[in-house]
Amino acid sequence: MSNTWRKRDTGITIRIIACLSILALLYIIFITVLAYLGLGYLPIILISSVFILSQWYFSDKIVLWSTRAKIVTKDQNPNLHTLVEQIALVNGLPKPKIAVVNSNIPNAFATGKGHRSSVVAVTTGLLNLLDHDELEGVLAHELTHIKNRDVLVITLASLFSTIAWQVMQFSFFGSMYGVGRDRNNGGAMLIIIAVSFITWIVSFLIIRAISRYREYSADRGAAQLTQKPKSLANALLKISGNMDRVSAREVRHFEGYNAFFIIPAISKESLFNLFSTHPPVEKRIQKLLDMEKSMER
């Protein structure tokens, strides 16, 4: 096996640019059709502006609040702070804020709009489960997400999906409550709903494609940074193996935030690969083990 994994991962940049370009083109077509069919520019601008501003300013705060993540100081958890600080220093990144989630689910995530506003969060379940090297691999994975600005990219990409969904709902309820009583208006509303639905589906699938590749890229970045791919592989194996031991109620609470987690907080039986935000954990582990073999040569 060659050492090509050591090189800079330009694949994620190419894929993100391609996906966002497709989404932008789709969004232009979407807006053009809506305007042509009579949905005024003012409602479109208002809908777009509200959701863009909301996602931009409040997305990270909502994630922290919803997951019950609490920011911890260095005095409260010196070991965790020291480990994150060392990894950030090697990456040339400002040290992110650190949060802990009081949950038995072993997991971690990163959020924030930029390098200086980023937060790395870990659960108490993760801290109790992993050893030092495994935890280092997980933290390096999350810091790679921050370095690649993955959270910002996913937020921007999800705008298209969110706006399409809201316009679809607006059109659907508008047709129900009298806007579509006229035959011509009714036909226009059906076209708007259909175009919105197609836009939402395509956006949904593209976002998942980006999310899946960024997980591979973050695994690879963590392996490059720590030089311990096997430790991250062991961490992924432990996390996925212990996920089913968590109560169903606790898992349901966190399911809506799976795009942020290093491993989806759902049981293996309910994981549908087509709609998953993450690639299969078995494939991720195998890639990391292949990297470990490459380093030994």
Q: Which of 46-50, 60-64, 288-292 has the lowest mean pLDDT?
A: 46-50
179: confidence class by pLDDT, cuts 50, 70, 90: very low
* Domain architecture of the chain: domains with CATH: 4-62+156-197 (no CATH), 67-149+210-296 (3.30.2010.10)
Residue with the two structure tokens 């659907």: 172
pLDDT of 172 higher than 60: no
**DSSP bridge partners of 97:** 119
| CA pair distance 198, 102, nearest whole angstrom | 39
| CA pair distance 195, 29, nearest whole angstrom | 9
| CA pair distance 252, 122, nearest whole angstrom | 18
74: confidence class by pLDDT, cuts 50, 70, 90: very high
Name the most confidently modeled range: 154-158, 181-185, 200-204, 235-239.
235-239
Residue with the two structure tokens 């996390």: 239
CA angle 254, 259, 261 (to 5 degrees): 65
How deeply is 182 buried, as exposed, middle or buried, from its count of CB atoms within 10 A (0-12, 13-18, 19+)? exposed
| CA pair distance 279, 215, nearest whole angstrom | 7
Give the active site residues: 142
Residue with the two structure tokens 């959701």: 51
CA 97 to centroid of chain Cα atoms: 18
CA atoms within 13 A on the CB side of 46: 7
Q: Residues 16-22: contacts with CB within 8 Å, 24+ apart?
A: 16/153, 16/210, 19/157, 19/206, 19/209, 19/210, 20/153, 20/156, 20/157, 22/202, 22/206
pLDDT in the model for residue 81: 96
pLDDT in the model for residue 96: 92
Instruction: Provide mean pLDDT across the span 18-35.
Output: 65
In the chain, the amino acid numbered 275 is F
177: confidence class by pLDDT, cuts 50, 70, 90: very low
Q: How many CB atoms lie within 10 A of CB 289?
A: 14
3: confidence class by pLDDT, cuts 50, 70, 90: very low
pLDDT of 73 higher than 90: yes
pLDDT in the model for residue 120: 94
Percent of the chain surpassing pLDDT 70:
58
254-273 pLDDT, tens digit per residue, is 766 676 788 877 644 444 44
Average pLDDT, the chain: 75
82: confidence class by pLDDT, cuts 50, 70, 90: very high
